[in-house]
Chain A
């Protein structure tokens, strides 16, 4: 649906200049400028993600062509309708593009950030690609306006263009990331890899104990965080009178959510490890704390979305508060609560820092026999494998582990989405 709409709008841009009724050189110029700017933006985009520099002459020529196109546009269209402020803005834009065309290629390939006393540098391709994206997107959205003769539709179109681009900006890197991990990791995934023990520091064998460890962490986290989180949400949303105490609890939940996961890890090290040792139990408890705010917030939101008049309907036929919550409020809120919980548990599967000091060993933990045994976990295993890259031949296994971890987390998210869509209750 939406995709079709986007396609439609873009084909419209190409059709416009060939309209026989209102043929205009300006329209051709506009379309040309939109296409050219978009191409520049796409090239910039490709350059950021692949890290390859497009070349001095390309930058210079493309920017100059763009600036010339715009100068022509100003002459043909902006001057005709009297919009002084817009003309000024555009002229400044053109001058800016000309200046960029001159100065950008002069930038050294590697600019050392000496004055900040840090060991860092800005690479040329980064600067150019970002500039190309910005100039391209701005140019395309600006030349959209004369195409529609500055009617209200023109601003609508240029806004739409920017919004579509921003969606692509999000989707493209994600696809790149996922695609990269799949391409590199799929070769390492095999039945043996999934079911064998870890051998020789992860260079050989499989990751079965880590897989089991991660699944145990997820189950344990759910057991710890679900009852507490849902209970807390029901209390906050249904029982507690809105006042100082609820606000304090709310702020506490927010702070818990904002706490960096490594702090959670250290907290667990200080609090649980002295009692339970480095064990599944310690890891699960601290992971429970980490996911608690996600579950509380999602459950609260789900409970809040149940309309008040449904509750009144139940009270009016003589239901007590708890009966009302149990029979009328919870059932329609459940899909939302489950969605939040699954997302929370998915987060627990991917976290490394909280379990790093509290639950996992890199080597030799095996499959836990009791909650007081240490475990292996996929994210930590991946961390250690990544550290070994360059010293040992672990690259293949590292990619495969990354793929497995990613598919577990994405799988959890997919489950959450399915639950939300399938069991949604409309009022």
Chain B
């Protein structure tokens, strides 16, 4: 990233990303209120909370996906490797190359499986066929899709099942070799078997990547994440290690939500 560099104090050096006093407005209604939280390197961070609490909004701030929504306005800072990505001089495209994203509904392009994965590299200017082949293969392997898709790389991605499509989207995100992968309820449209596959995949991914996952499903958060953030009505109520959040939450609201008293 060029220019606008502002180092932030990170005593431990573990923080891959860090959100500081982030507020966000959709037109006139405020969706996030002064959210501050770290995203720790090579760990999975889960964001949980009832519907409409701003989980998705927050995760979309981490790679400036909210920029494409009209009338959306943010205040505050989000640091990626110590650089504020909301700085005016920051190139959004560079941010998104480092912070990949997987969406709620699988959204493969209406192209072949190969082209879907090679897409990110192609638009970044990589034209070498051998290099692309290699990237496609390694990404598919990383997303545990190689066995199922290796013999139909040139078929349309729309012919894959929902779970396969979602893993394809993960492979597509991995292909550009990001540092962080954001997942916005990646399993909400999938059946339990496909969900289990994605969850295993997340545990594999954190060896090489930093993962942030938004989820409705508390068991899922407990299973896959190392850190958990609980949000309510646009505010971050509690952030801590997953074990601590689920076993001895400090806030009453967190406890109520986790024990299923509301939400």
Contacts and interface: CB of A to CB of B under 8 A. Distances in A.
Interface stretch (A62-70, A176-184, A250-258, A307-315): A307-315
A313 B108 contact: yes
Given A242-B70, A312-B65, A426-B158, A317 B100 contact: yes
Interface stretch (B91-99, B227-235, B237-245): B91-99
Given A241-B70, A311-B68, A323-B123, A316 B101 contact: yes
B96 A315 contact: yes
B96 A307 contact: no
Interface stretch (A146-154, A326-334, A379-387): A326-334
A313 B70 contact: no
B25 interface: no
A320 B93 contact: yes
A122 interface: no
Contacts of A313: 103, 107-109, 169, 172
Contacts of A327: 119, 122-123
Q: Contact size class for A?
A: 20 to 34
B164 interface: no
Interface string B17-28: 000000000000
B120 interface: yes
A317 B107 contact: no
Interface string B152-181: 000000100000000001001101100000
Given A320-B93, A427-B110, A314 B119 contact: yes
A318 B97 contact: yes
Contacts of B63: 316
Nearest to A317: B120
B65 A315 contact: yes
A319 interface: yes
A425 interface: yes
Nearest to A310: B107
A332 to B, nearest CB: 5
B124 interface: yes
Interface in B123-158: 123-124, 158
Nearest to A327: B123
Contact of A318 (B103, B111, B124): B124
B105 interface: yes
Contacts of B110: 310, 331-332, 425-427
Most chain A CB within 10 A, of B93, B94, B175, is at B93
Nearest to B71: A241
Contacts of B109: 310, 313-314, 328
Interface in A276-332: 307, 309-320, 323, 327-328, 331-332
Nearest to B182: A316
Contacts of B107: 307, 309-310, 312-313
B96 A317 contact: yes
Nearest to A242: B70
Given A323-B123, A327-B123, A317 B172 contact: yes
Contacts of A241: 70
A318 B176 contact: yes
Contacts of B105: 309
Contacts of B65: 312, 315-316
B123 to A, nearest CB: 5
Contacts of B169: 313
Given A313-B109, A327-B119, A328-B109, A319 B93 contact: yes
Given A310-B109, A313-B109, A331-B110, A319 B103 contact: no
Contacts of A425: 110
Contacts of B101: 312, 316
> Considering the complex of A and B, which 10 residue pairs feature the smallest CB-CB distances, nearest first?
A317-B120, A318-B97, A316-B101, A309-B107, A313-B107, A318-B96, A425-B110, A323-B123, A318-B93, A319-B123
Interface of A: 241-242, 307, 309-320, 323, 327-328, 331-332, 425-427
Interface of B: 63, 65, 68, 70, 93-94, 96-97, 100-103, 105, 107-111, 119-120, 122-124, 158, 169, 172-173, 175-176
28 contacts: A242-B70, A309-B103, A309-B107, A310-B109, A313-B108, A313-B109, A313-B172, A314-B109, A314-B119, A314-B123, A316-B63, A316-B96, A316-B101, A316-B102, A317-B120, A317-B172, A318-B94, A318-B96, A318-B123, A318-B124, A318-B176, A319-B120, A320-B93, A320-B123, A327-B123, A331-B110, A331-B111, A425-B110
